[in-house]
Amino acid sequence: MSIDQQKKILIINTGGTIAMVHEDGNPLNPLKPGKWDQIVKNYPVLSTMNIDTSIHTFDPLLDSSNISVANWKQMAEVISDKYDEYDGFVILHGTDTMCYTASALSFMLEHLGKPVILTGSQLPLANPRSDALENFVTALSIAAGIDLNDGTSLLSVPEVCVYFRGKLLRGNRSRKLSSSAYSGFESPNYPPLGLVGEHISLDARLVRGRDPEEFFANTELVANIMVLDIFPSLSPDVIKRIAVGSESDDEKIKALVLKTYGAGNAPNNEAFLSAIEFIVNEGVLVVDVTQCPQGMVEIGLYDASAQLLDKGVISGLDLTPESALCKLMWLFGMGWDTEQVKKQMQLDQRGEQSLNIFNIDYKNGTASPTFDGQALIPGEVEFDKLESAILQIQGARFINPLTKSKELGLRVYMNYQNLQQDTDTSIIQYAGTSVKHVDIKDQPSSLFLDVTNSVKKFFTKGRPGRIGIVSNDAEGISWEKLNLALYVGV
């Protein structure tokens, strides 16, 4: 390959362990950021690679613990300014906040058509047993689209990625799971985009396609977002104070990433739920993500999460906490209001989540004893990718709480026009029955019903979807919200 055919890669050195040296060269002294030419002088391989590299060094160099929104903006602006000059970009970054930066850049770099690979190391490059050299050289290879071992061409990866210890990970799916292991990064809810051994193997099925639209960097982020772990005996007053914050509206938080137990569960006592309802009413968007390293939030699977839904919390599906935080910063940075951000949070933007959620709201109403409602099915819904459809009836209660029954229940029918109280359950339009035992008859409850098969059978995108409900109580039931949630693969 001649010099004029060499791929041009810009190395953006932000600092971090990979670029650190011991003060005064003494291995007993603390580590501090070092100048790149001093660091690489003992590694001739870095000057013999068949890649045309340039370096942009942050001044000052950063320990990644000090990374801020302003630094993300700097990185995005460097890439934007140099986008047309280079074939790809490698960002040298500290490991502690690398996943946050990778997530933020994945949203900020709109219509990205070139590789942006973040890498770092657990030990400095100058250390004899460092993992830095392999991480750095392989990141350069992937950014340039060349396997430097044998010169073969590689699949282009037009994404923001993290490369670490033999794995290329989608940036907004990556997590740091070890503070010291060389294989310290994983993407628990998405397979690696590539595996590296003697050769570099990239999976074309997993890599996002090149975006044909013109690239630009969207650097407006709103930093008024918080992350909170649920833990036993968490004070509800703490949650309320989060929302109140400052007297200035500009300083109040816009959203809260709530890290819950398991599949999205949280305390269902009145004090906790009242605190959540309070901050939602204050205009705070609450997004439920799991504390577990792997898995997906399934609001409504257990009663402990169903009541979060009643209070206005939305599902973060399998978003990492880092990605959820950065996605909220980016969406609010668009200048959108909370309802618009709420809708966009549940849709995949950059491959950061496995499903899209389309929430279809039906009119509030009553089944006394029957109800017939229609709502438009969005044209974006791809029914061949529909994984589940859940009917959610929130705030349901008996119209007459003096009824003898303690079973709050209903039968559901799809696209049936002549619904009566005695309509048979043997007809094809019958979708199922949902029943809940209630001890306090005038207390609102939530009912859930899986209607996936019926939705696939009777509903069509871009057309009205008709839902009929029959109460099991002759005097009927009422509800505060009737919603059909469609979970569609991306």
State the catalytic residues: 17
Structure token pair of residue 251: 């300083």
Run of H or E including 274: helix 270-281
427-431 long-range Cβ contacts below 8 angstroms, 24+ apart: 428/457, 429/454, 429/458, 429/468, 431/391
Residue linked to tokens 């000059």 = 85
Contacts of 201 by beta carbon, 8 Å cutoff, 6+ apart: 194, 195
Calculate helix-pair angle for 321-333, 98-108, nearest 10 degrees.
40
What does the alpha-carbon distance between residue 18 and residue 394 come to, in Å, rounded to a whole number?
Answer: 52
Q: How many CB atoms lie within 10 A of CB 320?
A: 26
* Cβ atoms of residues 127 and 80 within 8 Å: no
What does the alpha-carbon distance between residue 415 and residue 188 come to, in Å, rounded to a whole number?
Answer: 40
First to last CA, the chain: 39
DSSP 120: -
